[in-house]
Structure 1
Amino acid sequence: MFDKVLVANRGEIAVRVMQACADLQIETVAIYSEADKHAGHVRYADDAYNIGPARAADSYLDHEAVLEAAEKANADAIHPGYGFLAENAEFARRVENTEGITWVGPTGDAMEQLGEKTKARTVMSEADVPIVPGTTDPVTDPEEVYEFADEHGYPIAIKAEGGGGGRGMKIVHAEDEIEDQLESAKREGDAYFDNDSVYLERYLENPRHVEVQIIADKHGNVRHLGERDCSLQRRHQKVIEEGPSPALSDELREQIGEAARRGVDAANYYNAGTVEFLVGEIPDRDPGEKLGPDADFYFLEVNTRVQVEHTVTEEITDIDIVKWQLRVAAGEELTFAQEDVDIDGHAMEFRINAENAAEDFTPATGGKLETYDPPGGLGVRIDDAVKQGDELVTDYDSMIAKLIVRGSDREECINRSKRALREYDIEGISTIIPFHRLMLADDAFLTGKHDTNYLDNDIATERISEAQEKWGSAAHANGGSEDVTEQELTVEVDGQRFQVTLEDPGIIVDGTQQPSSGGSSSTGGAATSGSNGDQTASLNGDQITAEMQGTILEVDVEEGDKVASGDVVCVLEAMKMENNIVAPTDGTVTHVAVSGGQSVDMGDTLVTLE
């Protein structure tokens, strides 16, 4: 077994890996950017090294910096977690070729074969795993997309080879969208995964998203650990995952599990991985009816790493996936047979994101965890890397924690989840806890009949706003656009104790809202984000400014250009998503203050209009 493992990641997954290492009596090394110097994973590790500026490309994605830190620390293994370099075959090979350091994951060759989507489709097809109609070679020319549309129709998914979680995927609904969406998918693939290669698939509009957890060793043993249902998504980002799927019959469950195992075995793959499938939903099926063995299911992709939602599988199998990643990397053989894998009970994972669901899941642009008091008790697990008083780091993604709940069956799991979410006390930033509480009272989710488009297309947005107003603080419900001072009091009426929150909306001084307690004023409005990801920048005089920290991916205007209200002036990457910065009024561009690849902070001037 290893002596010291460097965890090439941050946040809760870094802490999760470090905990597994501690269980195995392995020392740990953290790496961190300037933005993360006070982060939880740095506090947890035995040793820590600064590897560069906040921008991920200059720190967490810097191959040289990560390897240099590993060598300085005398680490004998590198675990990549998920995201960043976790599915980068080039980096995996570099680690494999570095004497004295072991890569905790599949080989670079296996990662390339299954992690790059076109190659994975070829492998799966040869292993008799059903695949969605699509290309097996990368697509570079819009003409190839036109031809694919002529054969298969719309909509079409243009997907980055190294993508995942909806990042690097663009949906084309009509011919006039092809060129823009192709360029956007390539740009995201290059920005997030250092790979601008893309491919095409026929886009299935109302499927379920079901994935199978795999663990395989270097001795030819491949096991699947059951499935997880990840159908509750917004803009292709998972928000609640559960296992086992509430929609599958046992016969279909076995078919999908064996297909996953067969495909991974054919690729000579080892370590942890997840095989994702799209399963055809029957819109009018009865609540108690399961999808049978005749239901359509198609291979989607392989994630050649540990997943965010691996926790669900751990809870219902009592198998520590991260520890097995380390054991497999060290050359150990799996000690359990496929028939030994026992699915016991039901589990759900709730992503605790710093977002306002009532404002189209807009990520928080800053804040402090003034209160952080997670729930506990039987069947409740918290994976996090934060503590009360921490400042929110907004340079990477919006997830601050994961709540995982287990019950003897789905009903008990849901009831326990309601209790845990009610007890989860976070103040200082908006989170999607109110949204999660809404979902646990939602008929489509409770009956297991939701599909991947339910949140984007079907749920009434006013219900989400009502949940935020009911279970989120008033300041968070309005997105923080006004200063609201709150004071909590304990009072007794006829001997009965009550907790009362007094809200002071402030007073107007010289036309500006001021909290009556004398706090600072708020002069800029919060940005709003539409379902297409457009970001409306604030206009201070003639300046369009950035409403969040990020990186400029593209500038679409030049000095002298005339723009109309709503025209895109540039594209800002923030929280791993592209945001179109649009002109809030008609005008002429008099100055462009940014260029592609430039990092910007909240409030920086992007474009000046006249």
Structure 2
Amino acid sequence: MFSKVLVANRGEIAVRVMRACEELGVRTVAVYSEADKHGGHVRYADEAYNIGPARAADSYLDHEAVLEAARKAGADAIHPGYGFLAENAEFARKVEESEFVWIGPSAAAMERLGEKTKARALMQDADVPVVPGTTEPAESADEVKQVADEYGYPVAIKAEGGGGGRGLKVVRSEEEVDDQFETAQREGEAYFGNASVYVEKYLEAPRHIEVQILADEHGNVRHLGERDCSLQRRHQKVIEEAPSPALTDELREEIGEAARRGVKAADYTNAGTVEFLVEDGEFYFMEVNTRIQVEHTVSEQVTGLDIVKWQIRVAAGEELDFEQDDVEIEGHSIEFRINAEAPEKNFAPATGTLVTYDPPGGIGVRMDDAVRQGDEIGGDYDSMIAKLIVTGSDREEAIIRGERALAEFDIEGIRTVIPFHRLMLTDEEFRNGTHTTKYLDEELESERIQAAVERWSPEDVSSDDDDEDVTERTFTVEVNGKRFEVSLEERGAPAIPLGNASGNSKPSGPRKRNDSGNDGQQVIEGDGEQVTAEMQGTILSVEVEEGDEVEPGDTVCVLEAMKMENDVVSERGGTVSQVLVGEGDSVDMGDVLLVLE
């Protein structure tokens, strides 16, 4: 077994991996960006190293920075968690060629399965059904049109290295092909460093079913049953459960064995997930996630197996000590992603301070998180701050337990999706288990979400701190990149103004891209209608120029926030008199993007 593991991630998944390490007697190393110097995973680890600025490309995605931290720490293995470098075959190969052990599938297996066209071809050869489409990357928009001519619209353009809906664009007519092809390529390059895309027939109302796999280096492959991840918004999962309420026993057995057959053909080891779409009693391979999944928790709850521990044990050369027949599914488990988002504002990412953070407990309740009361939630990374997992003897008890746990969950200071989750547990479609991946985007009325927020949200998400007689000051010191903390208590000292996640105070006014050398404040000319940013993020593109005419509902900018593209639309028509941002600019909530006359 390893003596020390570096976890190349952040947040709740980093803490989840560290807890598994601790139970195995393995010391842990955290890496962190400037935005995360006070993060929960840094607090939990045995030691921690700064690897760069807040921007993920300059820190968590920096191969050499992560490897150098592992060398400084004297780690002997690296666990990537999910996201960031978890499915990066190039980084996996660098680790394999270094003095460290990679806790995950081999780089070769990741290349075979991580890129969707290769995976589709491999699964076809293993007699696993796939959705009709291409098995080679599409080089032009014309190839998309050819697929549509053969199978009919709609078709889906998907980033070859994608997942979670990023880099996926649905095309319903020939007129949309060129723009959607370009957008899918851009997202693939931005999120996965791979602009290649492929095309397949788009299924209108499928269930999203995935199978958890464990495979060791001795030829043993096991599946741990399926999860139902059909409740999605913009292709992002929000509630997951195991087992699926929609499968017959026969279909369940077929899908499980197809998943085993496919990963065995790929010579796959460690943990992974084979994802399928199910429609009208037929199932189709979608993709393999060559990593641990966010929703691995529900599989752990119904099987009693610690998947993360097995990842580490398999990487250390151990053999799976159970047969497929030993895997028994007992009870029902549901996971709720607790995202910092405002449901009443089309789930816009939210930032702020956790003035109150009091999670639920009791029988059948599991919390996976890395935050505590007083933490600052910024907009640099994914919006998920915690996961609530409830387990019961059956689905009905799990739903009732979920209602109780969500009602107990007390968060103030920031908007979250808890009111939405509480709505879902009263929703007839969800309670009956008849929802599909299209239910939230196409059928659920926004008025119901608004009513849920009004009923179950705290009246005021902001709160002034009470005056304190004792002020605690924490000083962070770094020596050769390694983090140390010194805490002091001062009585009668003035309070320290709350800074942002990086420890720097936030500017009081809106900022703009500025080439003229002034103080960086926006200079607004005239008194026209201002289009402002509803969230913190980065401008991916500006769709208008000064002098352009826009109509109500037109997209004027595309803003990336918490790893999602968001169209900024104009609420009124007019002439663009001033454009205050450009591609690549960082903006805060409330910054003026452009002015209309």
Tell me the TM-score range normalised by the shorter chain: 0.7 to 0.9
2: CA distance between counterparts of 1:539 and 1:328? 62
Q: Distance in 1 between matches of 2:24 and 2:464?
A: 48
Matches within 5 A, 1:153-552: 153-281=152-280, 295-364=281-350, 366-475=351-460, 541-542=527-528, 544-552=531-539
In 1: Cα distance, 2:295 partner to 2:108 partner: 25
Is it true that 1:151 corresponds to 2:157 in the alignment? no
Match of 2:103 in 1: 104
Between the aligned partners of 1:168 and 1:301, the Cα distance in structure 2 is: 14
TM-score scaled by length of structure 2: 0.87
Contact 2:348 2:535 in 1 (8 A): no
Alignment of 1:20-169 (within 5 A): 20-98=20-98, 100-169=99-168
* Letter matched to residue 241 of structure 1: E
How far apart, in 2, do the equivalents of 1:448 and 1:456 lie?
A: 17
Listed one character per residue, the Cα deviations across residues 550-608 of structure 1 (whole Å, up to 9, x for unaligned) are: 22222333445444444333321111111123345545545544433333333445445
Amino acid corresponding to residue 333 of structure 1 in structure 2: E
8 Å Cα contact 2:525-2:578 kept in structure 1: no
- Report the Cα distance in structure 1 between the residues aligned to 2:591 and 2:465, rounded to whole angstroms: 30
| Cα offsets for 1:411-450 (capped at 9, x unmatched) | 1111111111111111111111111111111111111111
Q: Distance in 2 between matches of 1:460 and 1:556?
A: 29
Quick one: distance in 2 between partners of 1:559 and 1:460?
A: 37
Aligned to 1:15: 15
Cα gap change, 1:592 to 1:200, in 2 (>3 Å): same
Tell me how far apart the structure 1 counterparts of residues 347 and 135 of structure 2 sit (CA, whole Å). 34
1:554 match: secondary structure: strand
- Look up the equivalent residue of 2:386 and give its one-letter code: A
One-letter amino acid matched to 1:298: Y
Q: CA deviation at 1:277?
A: 0.5
One-letter amino acid matched to 2:453 = Q
- For structure 2, which runs of at least 5 residues remain unmatched after alignment? 467-507, 511-523
Q: Which amino acid aligns with 2:233?
A: R
* CA deviation string 1:492-518 (max 9, x = no partner): xxxxxxxxxxxxxxxxxxxxxxxxxxx
Contact 1:539/1:584, CA 8 A, preserved across alignment: no
One-letter amino acid of the counterpart of residue 212, structure 1: V
Say if 1:447 and 1:590 are closer, same or farther in 2 by CA, change over 3 A: closer
Residue-by-residue CA offset, 1:49-73 (whole Å, 9 max, x unaligned)? 1111111111111112111111111
Matched residues in 2 for 1:589 and 1:467: separation?
Answer: 37
Structure 1 residues 371 and 484, CA gap change in structure 2 (3 angstroms): closer
CA pair 541-101 structure 1, distance change in 2 beyond 3 A:
farther
CA contact (8 A) 2:413 2:463 kept: no
Partner of 1:554: 541
Q: CA RMSD in A?
A: 2.2
Question: Which residue identity is paired with 2:219?
Answer: G
Report the Cα distance in structure 1 between the residues aligned to 2:547 and 2:456, rounded to whole angstroms: 48
CA distance in structure 2 between the partners assigned to 1:541 and 1:583 by the alignment = 16
Distance 1:37 1:445 in 2: 40
Secondary structure of the structure 2 residue equivalent to 1:275? strand
Residues 571-586 of structure 1 mapped to structure 2, 5 A cutoff: 571-586=558-573
> Mind listing any 5+ residue stretches in structure 1 that lack a counterpart?
282-294, 477-482, 488-521, 525-537
| Deviation of the 1:114 alpha carbon | 0.5
Distance 2:22 2:145 in 1: 53
- Verify: 1:569 aligned to 2:556, yes or no: yes
Q: Distance in 2 between matches of 1:552 and 1:459?
A: 30
Q: Which segment drifts farther, 592-601 or 396-405?
A: 592-601
Distance between the aligned counterparts of 1:603 and 1:309, measured in 2? 34
Of the structure 1 ranges 173-182 and 599-608, higher mean CA displacement relative to structure 2 is found in 599-608
Once residues 110 and 276 of structure 1 are traced to their aligned partners in structure 2, the CA distance between those partners, rounded to angstroms, is 16
In 2, the alpha carbon distance for the partners of 1:371 and 1:298 equals 44
Distance 1:590 1:459 in 2: 38
**Per the alignment, do residues 242 and 539 of structure 1 end up closer, same or farther by CA in structure 2, a change over 3 Å counting?**
farther
Q: Tell me: CA distance 1:19–1:342, structure 2 relative to 1, closer, same or farther (3 Å).
A: same
> Using the alignment, how far apart are the partners of 2:119 and 2:24 within structure 1?
33
Question: What's the secondary structure of 2:377's corresponding residue?
Answer: coil
Instruction: Please tell me the residue identity of whatever aligns with 1:265.
Output: K
The residue identity in structure 1 corresponding to 2:297 is T
Q: Which moved more, 1:555-564 or 1:32-41?
A: 555-564
Verify the 8 A CA contact 1:36 1:393 in the aligned structure 2.
no
Cα offset, 1:609, TM superposition: 4.9
Q: Which residue of 2 aligns with 1:600?
A: 587
Query: 2:550, 2:576 within 8 Å by CA — same for their partners in 1?
Result: yes
Residue type matched to 2:564 in 1? M
Question: How big is the shift at 1:540?
Answer: 9.5
* Cα 1:341/1:200, change in 2 over 3 Å: same
1:349 Cα deviation after fit: 0.4
**C-alpha distance in 1, partners of 2:428/2:525?**
42
C-alpha deviation, 1:176, in angstroms: 1.0
In the alignment, the residues of structure 1 paired with residue 536 and residue 205 of structure 2 have an alpha-carbon distance, to the nearest angstrom, of 34
Deviation at 1:46, TM superposition (A): 0.8
Distance 1:182 1:426, change over 3 A: same
CA deviation digits over 1:447-503, x for unaligned, max 9?
111111111111222222211111112346xxxxxx89999xxxxxxxxxxxxxxxx
CA shift at 1:312, angstroms? 0.2
Q: Which moved more, 1:351-360 or 1:101-110?
A: 351-360
Judged with a 3 Å threshold, the aligned counterparts in structure 2 of structure 1 residues 393 and 3 are, in CA distance, closer, same or farther, namely same
Q: CA deviation at 1:149?
A: 0.8
Task: Give % identity.
Answer: 70
Alpha-carbon distance change, 369 to 484 in structure 1, aligned in 2, over 3 angstroms: closer
Contact (CA 8 Å) 1:539, 1:545: kept in 2 or not? no
- What is the Cα deviation at residue 140 of structure 1? 2.2
Alpha-carbon distance in 1 for matches of 2:590, 2:525: 10
Deviations 1:355-389 (A, max 9, x none): 1222222221x211111111111111000000011
Partner AA of 1:182 in structure 2:
F
Structure 1 residues 541, 52: closer, same or farther in 2, change over 3 A? farther
Measured in 2, the distance between the counterparts of 1:473 and 1:486 equals: 17
